[in-house]
A = this chain, B = another copy of it.
């Protein structure tokens, strides 16, 4: 039997925009989507669970994954590696299940090179002032880091043009609903339905 490949959905946006929060709410509400878990060399924060929030790796293990081409994308960020294990993503969409990757802007652009048919959603802040606010309120940044992160965020904001959809994260619940609408609409695209439909027509007519 023909099985349509699942959707590969990439949720990205500038640092500080709230990707993680939006994605975790989406994850609770939408159990019909598989979530890709990133690998990282940074230490687990309190409450973070191996295999749910991240796969926690040593630098050596991570570098081995890079060598073996086991990562769909990876980047080094503030001294730590982050990356997306390739095999899990590929197996999930081959089985016809939809998967979502919540990743950084640069990583998303790398995924696009491999999967141009993916659905690339860019989260944007309601304003730059608000983005600055959010970065400050994480409370982990000194002034120099803050300026560096704001400048990086400004560069990242210019990347919308490489994405398919723009979603303003003004309120988390609203942003989640918008993303859900995008996913529902993409599932209804003629191209996805046509193979089944033509089979159905043949049987019915």
Contact = CB atoms under 8 A, between A and B. Distances in A.
Nearest to A164: B190
A136 B161 CA distance: 50
User: Oligomeric state, in number of copies?
Assistant: 2
> Chain A interface mostly helix, strand, loop or mixed?
helix
A197 B194 CA distance: 34
Contact of A205 (B128, B167, B182, B193): B128
Contacts of A128: 204-205
Interface stretch (A58-66, A70-78, A152-160): A152-160
A161 B194 contact: yes
Contacts of A184: 178, 181-182, 185
A46 interface: no
Interface of A: 122, 124, 127-128, 154, 157-158, 160-161, 163-167, 178, 180-182, 184-186, 188-190, 193-194, 197, 201, 204-205
B127 A190 contact: no
Nearest to A180: B181
A166 B197 contact: yes
Given A184-B181, A201-B157, A165 B189 contact: yes
Contacts of A188: 165-167, 178, 181-182
A119 to B, nearest CB: 10
Contact of A197 (B124, B178, B182): B124
A193 B160 contact: yes
B181 A193 contact: no
Contacts of A158: 201
Nearest to A201: B157
